[in-house]
Amino acid sequence: MAPDSPQVLSISPSYPAITKQAAGTINGIQTNITSTAFSDKIMITITQGGRLAQWIHVPLNSPNPIFADQYMSSGNDEDNLLPMAHLSPKTLLGGSTSERETVGQLYATQIASAIVTRNPEEKRTVLVGLGLSKFEARREVFYDTVDLVMKCL
């Protein structure tokens, strides 16, 4: 189920960080995305019903710059759908069950991979706040959510 006509807004007339918002309906639930780009971090919140229950951070810099090239795409289209292997998400808050923590880290890693794919020089840490009202590990929900986030980047 694709998000219904997402609305993207840019909010930052006097605020020093660039902030964008997108909203859409995913799996019948109103979903709001906010992206705020600070000088040292990129913060993305995914909320349903105004809640935030889990925070994950993903450093974008490679653990060892000598091996950074091995993490680049092989050119295989199927590999391009996978999150980058060198990204290491860490749950800061929330993730009450191991399944919820794993899915949250998958969202964060996929979003971080998309950011690096758009800008390979990006080194800021990505901070993802999740507040999904229904916890579902369904492919369509995952893809629709990541697609809505991409409209906000």
pLDDT band at residue 148 under the 50/70/90 scheme: very high
Q: Tell me: pLDDT of 71 over 90.
A: no
What is the mean pLDDT of the segment spanning 139-149? 93
Domain 7-65+79-150 has what CATH class?
Answer: alpha beta
| Total-model pTM | 0.78
Name, of 36-40, 70-74, 98-102, the range with top average pLDDT: 36-40
CA angle 11, 84, 149 (to 5 degrees): 25
What is the mean pLDDT of the segment spanning 138-144? 90
Strand order in the sheet with 18-26: 7-11, 18-26, 29-37, 41-48, 125-131, 54-58, 90-93
As a whole-number percent, the residues of the chain with pLDDT over 90 amount to 49
CA angle 36, 91, 96 (to 5 degrees): 115
Note the pLDDT tens digit of each residue in 12-64.
Answer: 555 678 899 999 999 999 999 999 999 999 999 999 999 999 999 999 886 54
Q: What is the DSSP string of 129-148?
A: EEE-SS----HHHHHHHHHH
Q: Tell me: pLDDT of 65 over 50.
A: no
One-letter amino acid for residue 29 of the chain: I
Q: Tell me: pLDDT of 145 over 50.
A: yes
